[in-house]
Amino acid sequence: MSAVTELRPLADAPSVAVRDAWGNTLVALAEQYPELVVLDGDLANSTRADIFAAAVPDRFFEMGIAEQNLLGVAAGMATCGYVPWISTFTAFLTSRALDQIRVVVAQPHLNVKLCGSYSGLLTSKTGKTHQSVDDLAVFRAMPGISVIAPADANELAAAMRSMMETEGPQYLRVTRDASPVVFPENHLFRLGKAELLRDGGDVSLISTGTQTIRTLEAAELLAARGIQADVLHVPTLKPLDVEAIVAAAERTNAVVTAEDHSIIGGLGGAVAECLGEHRPTRMRRVGIRDTFGESAPNDALLEKYGLTAKHVADAAIALLEGDRP
């Protein structure tokens, strides 16, 4: 078992909006990388690309409400040595511009950084048209694209630094709202590596994206009931850290996955595929259960669609008690 990543305790963690960190990190990276450009689909004040537009106006390109062209222009700039970062909502990236991503980004393996803001269910009361329940599944299935879903603002910044150092198309899942920052500021992101965040031994909670924060809370709920949970955070869904996932299963023989995404094709799917081949293990998948969302406050959405810390903890208890899902 690899070393446990040092985290700030949840109780002391300040809250930072992940999208703000995204905009600020672009500005910081632009100083170091003159080839970095940002292309926006008329959502810069939502995605927080506006921070970049104000700081580096000559490398910010507004492309209007036309996502298909946005991706094509980015591809063209990538062939000329620029590194375009895309500013739009996940739902429009994954669905509206998917053929463009397939044909002019993924197939020619161009160095375009696909950033999907407002991912998952928590999209500021915009509802099912603006939420994304399938982006991890879609990009996992697309050849040649790495898939990254950071847990908090600091891990996001570290992932973005890593993305600038890695040639090729990558998908970065960005959430909109504030969430506790548990990763240290100097965190080093390693593409394709999972992070063991908590060392328990009774059950392995495997999570991705900002759902990892709620999964850490779930581990505390379980500890209060005498159950010691591992928390394995998987910020890279592709390439998947098979070794770490198999090691977690070896250790506890009980795996619960958790994600703000459909249980089909995302982290739950990836872990099930991995363990099915390498080490069949009892597991439960916490996530959105093959449905679209709706517009509502975040707490209400997490409760109705089964993504709270208590839902994760309950899934672990049920698994350990041997209940059938």
Partner 1 sequence: MESSTAIDPRDSQSTSLEALSARTRGLILETIHHAGAGHVGGPLSATDLLVHLYFRTLNIDPARPDWPERDRFILSKGHSSIAIYTVLALRGYFPVAELRTFDAIDSRLQGHPDMTRLPGLDMSTGSLGQGLSPGVGMALSAKLRGQGYRTWVMLGDGEIQEGQIWEACFTAARYELDNLTAILDANNLPQFGWPSPEGFTRDRPYDDPRAKFEAFGWHVVECDGHDHADIERAFAEAVAHTGRPTCVIAHTIKGKGISFMENQFTWHALPPNAEQLAAALAELELEASE
**For 93, which DSSP code?**
I
Least Å distance between CB 58 and partner 1? 8
Q: Which range touches partner 1 (CB under 8 A), out of 64-72, 159-167, 173-181, 283-291?
A: 64-72
Q: What is the C-alpha separation between 224 and 159, in angstroms, rounded?
A: 33
Burial class of 235 by CB neighbour count within 10 A (0 to 12, 13 to 18, 19+): buried
For partner 1, the binding residue among 9, 14, 108, 239 (CB under 8 A) is 108
Neighbours of 219 (CB within 10 A): 25
Q: What is the C-alpha separation between 105 and 102, in angstroms, rounded?
A: 6
For partner 1, the binding residue among 18, 75, 172, 237 (CB under 8 A) is 75
Q: Which range touches partner 1 (CB under 8 A), out of 42-50, 56-64, 148-156, 234-242?
A: 56-64
Q: What is the C-alpha separation between 12 and 55, in angstroms, rounded?
A: 31
DSSP letters for 162-202:
HHHHS-S-EEEE---SEEE--S-TTPPP-TT--EEEE--SS
For partner 1, the binding residue among 87, 100, 207, 281 (CB under 8 A) is 100
The residue with tokens 């991503």 is: 101
Q: Is 77 in the site for partner 1 (CB under 8 A)?
A: yes
Distances (CA, A) of 77 to 34, 49, 72, 272: 13, 18, 9, 38
Q: Is 76 in the site for partner 1 (CB under 8 A)?
A: yes
The residue with tokens 């350990």 is: 320
Q: Is 26 helix (H, G, I), strand (E, B) or coil?
A: helix
For partner 1, the binding residue among 3, 11, 32, 80 (CB under 8 A) is 80
Q: Which range touches partner 1 (CB under 8 A), out of 5-13, 70-78, 157-165, 239-247?
A: 70-78
For partner 1, the binding residue among 16, 44, 74, 182 (CB under 8 A) is 74
Least Å distance between CB 91 and partner 1? 18
Q: Is 167 in the site for partner 1 (CB under 8 A)?
A: no
Question: How many residues contact partner 1, by CB under 8 A?
Answer: 30
Smaller CB distance to partner 1: residue 30 or 219?
A: 30
Helix/strand number for the chain, H first, E second? 13, 14
Q: What is the C-alpha separation between 182 and 199, in angstroms, rounded?
A: 16
Q: Is 297 in the site for partner 1 (CB under 8 A)?
A: no
Instruction: Annotate each residue in 8-47 with x if it binds partner 1 (CB under 8 A) or - if it does not, as one string.
Output: -----------------------------x----------
Binding site for partner 1 (CB under 8 A): 37, 58-59, 61, 63-64, 66, 68-69, 71-82, 84, 99-100, 102-104, 107-109
